[in-house]
Amino acid sequence: MKRTIQQSLPISASDTESELDGSVLTDFSRFYILLLLFEGEKHGYQIMSSIDRRLGQKVSPSLVYPFLRLLEDQNLVRSRAANVGRKPRNVYSLTSSGKVLCNRLFKQFTTIVSSAIEPSMQVCAHCGCKVYMNAYSEVIKGKRLMFCCKYCAASYKRGEK
């Protein structure tokens, strides 16, 4: 049976830490390839360079090109030949089905990330915004309060909304 993009990799308790790290990194790289294509059409080398530049992580052509072919086989990506610089290259772009898949994956990813960082969030005592790291704190009337910035703390002390 042919594997589809929408199926997840099975992870079992018997997976070693390095196998798990490798599969997570591979899946994250594939997710990031979709993100890059969502931004606009790209050829394979642009994808690999973008991942290296943005994430500081090298990704192998043996991951990128078979994944692009799989996406194309499933009508999630289309390719066209284009002269880029001195070389002819295949340039890849998402189809409408690919964009629908990306939107669904991005919503799921947002939910996962939000639930992971929510316990670490601080709420500004003045404006109510959420701060992930490095919230500004002051002790006011014997109570430590968290703020997004020193200006909110000053406004809070003055009683401003």
Tens of pLDDT, residues 23-37:
555 788 999 999 999
Residue 59's nearest CA partner among 42, 71, 77, 47 is: 47
Domain spanning 17-116: CATH 1.10.10.10:
yes
What is the rounded CA–CA span in Å between residue 128 and residue 26? Answer: 38
Model pLDDT, residue 104: 93
Predicted pLDDT of residue 24: 52
pLDDT tens, residue by residue, 41-63: 999 999 999 999 998 889 999 99
| DSSP 8-state code for residue 9 | P
Section 71-89 average pLDDT = 92
Q: At what angle do helices 17-39 and 44-55 cross, to 10 degrees?
A: 120
Give 95's DSSP letter.
-
Least confident of 12-16, 101-105, 117-121: 12-16
pLDDT of residue 132: 86
Which phi and psi angles does 122 have, rounded to 5°? -110, 145
Q: Where are the domains of the chain?
A: 17-116, 121-158
* pLDDT average, residue stretch 98-123: 91
Mean confidence (pLDDT) of the chain: 85
Percent of the chain residues topping a pLDDT of 70: 83
CA 158 – CA 44 distance, rounded (Å): 56
The C-alpha atoms of residue 82 and residue 68 are separated, in whole angstroms, by 16
Question: Which uninterrupted H or E stretch holds 37?
Answer: helix 17-39
| Residue 120: predicted pLDDT | 87
Residue 7 pLDDT > 80: no
CB contact set of 122 (below 8 Å; sequence gap of 6+): 130, 131, 135, 146
pLDDT at 64 > cutoff 90: yes
**Phi, psi for 42 (deg, rounded to 5):** -150, 155
